[in-house]
Amino acid sequence: MTIFWINGQPAGDIPANDRGLAYGDGVFETIKVVSGKLTLPVLHWQRLCAGTGRLRISLDSGLLQRECADFLRDNGFTEGILKIIVTRGSGGRGYNPFGCDQTRRILSFHPLPSYPSSLSVQGTAIRLCQHRSGHSLLAGIKHLNRLDQVLARAEWHDTECYEGLMMDLDDRIIEGTMTNVFLVMDDGMLVTPALNHTGVAGVARAYILQEAVRWGVSVVEKPVMINTLEKACEVFLVNSVNGVWPVIACGHLRWEVGTVTRMVRDKIAGVLNA
């Protein structure tokens, strides 16, 4: 049975008039927990605060961090996924958020996903999703409106395909349904799609952008057209739960698990499994 805390107290029910349910009015984080500790905590808190700031939702970050620590300790949670949802709280019917002065902080804990360990070593084939991601002024943040990803992921039920690549309305590669994507070009440059207009700026993606130069790799964020895949020497996916998955095929295209991908995979594994 999943245990929930709401605003620092054990609870099992969320009010039906919560604006997160009614309008997707909130943000969330899924954080890998190892040996009772959060992985990449600084980047997760930064993104959470950036999201609530963009949505103008009041959040006491220090209070939430203390609640998370108490939640893990009091329930003996040491290995798994901490999910944090912050909504604007409850309010009257209609879009106007006036009067919603009680932010709701929802914590829950879940097992790690059971993907084959071979995905990080041997890589995976992916597919192109038909559903496109539309432009939004909320690009980058992990808000609760994730219908683009839901519709894209509903396109296949093949258990041998673990991820799909999403594009925007202008045939630009954006991300996977649950991952960010990186391409290694023939000059060794690491490229990831710019997320100025759509997509989720993942925490593992942010870590790579932050650390790549120290690893001796040049990295750039820029628009990536679909035909750029044909020019890439290596392709990999990443998120802050599963780490790096090398991509070995997409449609007729094929790639090897290359040296840059292996290096980044090992660096990310070091911080997600410590």
Domain boundaries, the chain: 4-110, 119-272
Q: What is the pLDDT of the chain when averaged over all its residues?
A: 96
- pLDDT, one tens digit per residue, over 211-265 is 999 999 999 999 999 999 999 999 999 999 999 999 999 999 999 999 999 999 9
pLDDT at 224: 97
- The rounded Cα 237 to chain-centroid distance in angstroms is 11
Helix (H, G, I), strand (E, B) or coil at 202: coil
pLDDT at 6: 97
pLDDT at 57: 97
Instruction: Answer yes or no: is pLDDT of 75 > 90.
Output: yes
**Does 3.20.10.10 match the CATH number of domain 119-272?**
yes
Distance in angstroms (rounded) separating the CA atoms of residues 121 and 242: 12
Under the banding of pLDDT at 50, 70 and 90, the label for residue 44 is very high
Q: What is the mean pLDDT of residues 180-195?
A: 97
Note the CATH architecture for domain 4-110.
2-Layer Sandwich (3.30)
pLDDT at 167: 97
pLDDT at 28: 98
Instruction: Answer yes or no: is pLDDT of 159 > 90.
Output: no
Structure tokens given for 89: 């709280």
The string of DSSP codes covering 144-162 is S--HHHHHHHTT---TT--
Contact status, residue 158 vs residue 124, Cβ threshold 8 Å: no
Instruction: Answer yes or no: is pLDDT of 274 > 80.
Output: no
- pLDDT, one tens digit per residue, over 76-94 is 999 999 999 999 999 877 8
Contact status, residue 234 vs residue 262, Cβ threshold 8 Å: no
Q: Please tell me the pTM assigned to this model.
A: 0.95
pLDDT at 99: 85
